[in-house]
């Protein structure tokens, strides 16, 4: 039986003062993508009909981030608790009939499969009014507690830590805050929630006990502590980011990549790694990187926005910036930087080189110390190096300039005009030697120094 339509409500109204940042808490990046967008993208796997983000302070930042993704905004002007926050989504969900999944913008790691389990349980045989996502942390601390009926996932009691008795605080099953509720029940129950509690707030979990008082069943499903880890500080963001990286590294290795020192490799949210790729220690991938089968990424390389072809070798100590494309068998060695440049099949730049706004033909060899002079302070210009061309060490190619196929540029040249195919270009003064000059110079300098010291 198909499930009813789905709406996602994401709470993101908290001020996030512990982040000590001008950037809204839920927009802090996790593996190069804002936490909130991680969550929205994960929920998209469930094909929601509507997505509503409840905002408070910093609403302009959040609205700018989520509106292009089709999410609606609901504003919580006063921070009066989670129940009050969800209630602000009622207008945005007017006319909607189906399931509502309530998530938190600072809990970014919850998986689509877990969300689906919540929805599946909502349509179980006993038709619970609400399904809560629970977990058992190593330290239950100040989490709200969930107490179930004996040998059952049915909820007997849910209570906030501040209001719990010592016996209730001794329970280990905790409330993550995530919940699935039918739209026909959600706002009717929220309208009955009061704020007669230690914090004077309207708690979302209170709808569970209100439903139970009506004789309805409510249920809990459990997940791991890590999946529902929240982020309220920079330290917690680092912990959640590290957990994400652990999972991503394991997936890369399971898919056929070799990570020599997995704990030192950092992936972005969209990094694509092929089979038989070898990644040496201390490699950082920024967003937008694709690595084809059989490539080798050597130690201490920094790569973002780049396409790396099959059998390519990068590094060590290489930097690939956005727009770098390395075709099959190309090689970029130590202390080479590539930006908005394409290296053709088998092309090489082995060391100490900058290639920006350039096209390097197949089989070309770019010597050490070569730079493409692509910027005059106002505009960027392109350098084209033909197939099988050879660029000698310590050359400067002043763009716009084209080096023809098979041409040779002698070491130390400053090339300002196009070079025809198969030509030799040598741009440097003739070498002049003056026999004995160095010895005479040293003698003069020593005499001058002695005379100065004798004064």
Q: What is the pLDDT of residues 11-42, one digit of tens each?
A: 999 878 999 999 999 999 999 999 999 999 99
Q: Convert the pLDDT of each residue in 226-251 to its tens digit.
A: 999 999 999 999 999 999 999 999 99
Q: Which one has a higher pLDDT value, 163 or 191?
A: 191
Catalytic residue among 24, 38, 84, 351: 351
| Banded model confidence at residue 312, pLDDT cuts 50, 70, 90 | very high
Tokens 């209001």, located at residue: 163
Instruction: Please give the Cα distance from 155 to 280 (Å, whole number).
Output: 49
176: three-class secondary structure by DSSP? strand
- For residue 194, is pLDDT > 80? yes
Joined tokens for residue 441: 């110079």
- What topology does CATH give the domain 254-425? UDP N-Acetylglucosamine Acyltransferase; domain 1 (2.160.10)
Residue 134, beta-bridge partner list = 175, 222
Angle (deg, nearest 10), helices 183-190 and 206-213: 100
Instruction: Please give the Cα distance from 422 to 406 (Å, whole number).
Output: 5
User: What CATH number labels 6-228?
Assistant: 3.90.550.10
C-alpha angle 35-37-41 in degrees, rounded to nearest 5 = 120
The pLDDT value recorded for residue 10 is 98
Instruction: Please give the Cα distance from 134 to 218 (Å, whole number).
Output: 13
Instruction: Please give the Cα distance from 309 to 302 (Å, whole number).
Output: 16
Q: CA separation (Å) from 441 to 281, 434, 436, 437, 453?
A: 50, 12, 9, 6, 18
Mean pLDDT, to the nearest integer, of 172-201?
Answer: 93
Residues 6+ apart with CB under 8 A from 247: none
- What is the 3 state secondary structure string of 378-447? CCECCEEECCCCEECCCCEEECCEEECCCCEECCCCEECCCECCCCEECCCCCCCCCCCHHHHHHHHHHH
| Active-site annotation holds for 351 | yes
- For residue 263, is pLDDT > 60? yes
C-alpha angle 115-117-122 in degrees, rounded to nearest 5 = 100
Joined tokens for residue 341: 């440049």
Instruction: Please give the Cα distance from 137 to 215 (Å, whole number).
Output: 30
Q: CA separation (Å) from 61 to 22, 58, 64, 104?
A: 10, 6, 5, 17
Q: Convert the pLDDT of each residue in 353-374 to its tens digit.
A: 999 999 999 999 999 999 999 9
Residue 385, beta-bridge partner list = 360, 403
Q: Where are the domains of the chain?
A: 6-228, 254-425
236: three-class secondary structure by DSSP? helix
- CA 424 from centroid of its chain's CA atoms: 47
Residues 6+ apart with CB under 8 A from 251: none
How many Cβ atoms are within 10 Å of 49's Cβ, its own excluded? 14
115: three-class secondary structure by DSSP? helix
Joined tokens for residue 211: 């439903």
Mean pLDDT, to the nearest integer, of 303-322?
Answer: 98
Which of 14-18, 46-50, 377-381, 423-427 has the weakest average pLDDT? 14-18
Which of 164-173, 275-284, 321-330 has the weakest average pLDDT? 164-173
C-alpha angle 433-435-439 in degrees, rounded to nearest 5 = 120
179 in Cβ contact with 117 (< 8 Å): no
- Phi first, then psi: give them for residue 196, nearest 5 degrees: -85, 75
Percentage of the chain modeled with pLDDT above 70: 100
Which of 65-74, 102-111, 264-273, 390-399 has the weakest average pLDDT? 65-74
The pLDDT value recorded for residue 430 is 86
Angle (deg, nearest 10), helices 35-44 and 59-66: 40
| Banded model confidence at residue 300, pLDDT cuts 50, 70, 90 | very high
The pLDDT value recorded for residue 1 is 54
Q: Which helix (H) or strand (E) element contains residue 146?
A: strand 145-148
Chain mean pLDDT for the chain: 95
Angle (deg, nearest 10), helices 35-44 and 112-122: 50
338 in Cβ contact with 320 (< 8 Å): yes
Joined tokens for residue 355: 């290639």
Q: How large is the C-alpha radius of gyration of the chain?
A: 31
- For residue 321, is pLDDT > 90? yes
Q: Which residue blocks in 232-341 are alpha helix, DSSP H?
A: 234-254
């Amino acid at each position: 039986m198909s499930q009813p339509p789905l709406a996602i409500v994401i709470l993101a109204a908290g001020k996030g003062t512990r982040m000590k940042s001008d950037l809204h808490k839920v927009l802090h990046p996790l593996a190069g993508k804002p936490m909130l967008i991680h969550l929205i993208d994960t929920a998209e796997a469930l094909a929601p009909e509507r997505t509503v983000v409840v905002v408070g302070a910093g609403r302009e930042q959040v609205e700018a981030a989520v509106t292009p993704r089709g999410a609606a905004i609901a504003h919580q002007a006063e921070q009066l608790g989670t129940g009050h926050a969800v209630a602000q989504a009622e207008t945005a969900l007017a006319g909607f009939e189906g399931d509502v999944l309530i998530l938190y913008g600072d809990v970014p790691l919850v998986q689509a499969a877990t969300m689906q389990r919540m929805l599946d349980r909502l349509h179980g045989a006993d038709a619970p009014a609400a399904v809560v996502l629970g977990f058992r942390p190593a330290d239950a601390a100040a989490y709200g507690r969930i107490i179930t009926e004996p040998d059952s996932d049915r909820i007997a009691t849910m209570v906030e830590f501040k209001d719990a008795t010592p016996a209730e605080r001794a329970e280990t099953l905790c409330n993550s805050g995530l919940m699935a509720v039918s739209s026909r029940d959600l706002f009717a129950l929220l309208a009955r929630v009061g704020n007669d509690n230690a914090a004077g707030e309207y708690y979302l979990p209170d709808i569970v006990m209100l439903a139970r008082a009506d004789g309805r069943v409510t249920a809990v499903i459990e997940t791991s502590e890590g999946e529902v880890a929240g982020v309220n500080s920079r330290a917690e963001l680092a912990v959640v980011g590290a957990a994400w990286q652990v999972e991503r590294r394991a997936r890369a290795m399971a898919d056929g990549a070799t990570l020599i020192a997995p704990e030192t490799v950092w992936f972005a949210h969209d990094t694509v790694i092929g089979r038989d790729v070898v990644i040496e220690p201390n490699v950082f991938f920024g967003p937008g990187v694709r690595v084809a089968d059989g490539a080798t990424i050597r130690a201490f390389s920094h790569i973002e926005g780049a396409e790396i072809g099959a059998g390519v070798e990068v590094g060590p100590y290489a930097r690939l910036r956005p727009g770098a494309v390395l075709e099959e068998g190309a090689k970029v060695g130590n202390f080479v930087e590539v930006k908005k440049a394409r290296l053709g099949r088998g092309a090489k730049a082995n060391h100490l080189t900058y290639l920006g706004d350039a096209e390097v033909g197949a089989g070309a060899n770019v010597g050490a110390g070569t730079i493409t002079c692509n910027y005059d302070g106002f505009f960027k210009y392109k350098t084209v190096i033909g197939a099988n061309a050879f660029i000698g060490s310590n050359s400067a190619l002043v763009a716009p300039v084209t080096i023809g196929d098979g041409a040779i540029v002698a070491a130390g040249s400053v090339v300002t005009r196009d070079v025809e195919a198969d030509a030799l270009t040598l741009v440097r003064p003739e070498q002049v030697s003056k026999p004995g000059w160095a010895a005479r110079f040293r003698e003069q300098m020593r005499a001058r120094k002695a005379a100065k010291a004798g004064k």
